[in-house]
Amino acid sequence: MNALKALWADHGQAVWLDFIQRSLVEGGGLARLVEEDGVRGVTSNPSIFKNAIAGTDEYDEQVGAVLRRHPAATAVTVYEELAVTDIQAAADVLRPVYDAGSRSDGFVSLEVAPDLAHDTSGTITDARRLWARVGRPNLMIKVPATTEGMAAIEALIADGININATLMFSMDDYEAVAQAYLRGLERCAEPSTVASVASFFVSRVDTAVDAQLEAVGTPDALALRGKAAIANACLAYRRFKEIFHGPNFERFMARGAQVQRPLWASTSAKNPAYPDVLYIEELVGPQTVNTIPAPTLDAYRDHGNPRNALEEGMASADSVMEGLEAHGIDLKAVTKKLQYDGVAAFAGAFDDLLASLAEKISVR
């Protein structure tokens, strides 16, 4: 059994692919990943769609078809046609995983418009519209975990819509998302039919914290490089276990509700000095998801070594946080800025994608 399959079979961690592109789905690549590597889901985001649509000619034929049907179509309209087509096709490939796994995996994630990250009512409206339009029970709508996103997450869970709460960087983000999920379940008529993940971003935390540690420059500070992100995730996993394996969740389980699994995102190693599979290797644990970019997926298949690392990491996470604080690292400030920058980056990628589509439209 390869290392990717062992994550699920031996450790209860689902591997999702953090990538989507027309040729991957239509050419059978996604189906092979499901069959051979045990991939159990797909995530997308505006940056992924920008690279796929603006960076290839795979979508040009459909762009022309949309414009023939709707000559006055805007770039937003064309984008949505392209994205929905890919999401539906990927969802159909993953439907057997969804059906066989009691609706706990087999999901494909699609994000609401990035400019709605601070608009509660707009997010709710857009999510409901996309849910209806895609028309697949194994769709997950991605909602940013901003302050305004919390009420949207609650309302959409109450509607019975699967939610991927994304762009989480801090323990405060995690706590707010978990509580929003519980409030949504409380209001949901059929909680057994809804699923959710809490997407906790990892590598970007180390990128930001390492820069501050290097500015401090002492041996003790430098020894903490590459540890903040994993410790942060381990503390979130500890809190997950407290919330979803404590007595308060039992009444939800009695109604058939699933736990809201932590999902580790941004798991490619940004620092070339770190092992390329660092954020896969150190974040293995039951009832978690790791959404992995294609190159990192290939690397882990080649030389991954699965073990229950989250349990090990929880033992040292507090001391790492104490060390950061002792060196003047304000992790709350770091993670708040990371979320702000992440929202802005996805909005920028979406704007670039729309500009590229507008150019394609203009020459037809």
What's the average model confidence in pLDDT over 198-215?
Answer: 98
What's the average model confidence in pLDDT over 312-336?
Answer: 97
Query: Given pLDDT bands bounded at 50, 70 and 90, which one contains residue 364?
Result: low
Judging by DSSP bridges, how do beta strands 196-201 and 261-265 pair with one another? parallel
Q: Using CA atoms, how far apart are residues 320 and 229, in angstroms rounded to an integer?
A: 10
Say if CB 174 and CB 168 are below 8 A apart: yes
What the chain holds in terms of domains, given with CATH numbers, is: 3-362 (3.20.20.70)
Say if CB 40 and CB 17 are below 8 A apart: no
Q: What are phi and psi of 108, to 5 degrees?
A: -125, 130
Confidence at residue 210, expressed as pLDDT on a 0 to 100 scale: 98
Average pLDDT of the residues of the chain: 96
Q: Using CA atoms, how far apart are residues 40 and 335, in angstroms rounded to an integer?
A: 29
Helix (H) or strand (E) holding 167: strand 163-168
What's the average model confidence in pLDDT over 77-97?
Answer: 97
Is residue 263 left, alpha or beta, with left meaning phi > 0 and alpha meaning psi from -120 to 50? beta
Residues marked active site are found at 142
Q: For 211-260, what is each residue's pLDDT tens digit?
A: 999 999 999 999 999 999 999 999 999 999 999 999 999 999 999 999 99
Q: For 142-199, what is each residue's pLDDT tens digit?
A: 999 999 999 999 999 999 999 999 999 999 999 999 999 999 999 999 999 999 999 9
- Intra-chain end-to-end CA distance of the chain, in Å: 50
What's the average model confidence in pLDDT over 63-86?
Answer: 94
Q: Using CA atoms, how far apart are residues 55 and 53, in angstroms rounded to an integer?
A: 6
Confidence at residue 261, expressed as pLDDT on a 0 to 100 scale: 98
Tokens of 8: 């699920």
Q: How many C-beta neighbours within 10 Å does residue 23 have?
A: 12
Look-up of token digits 């540690």: 213
pTM: 0.96
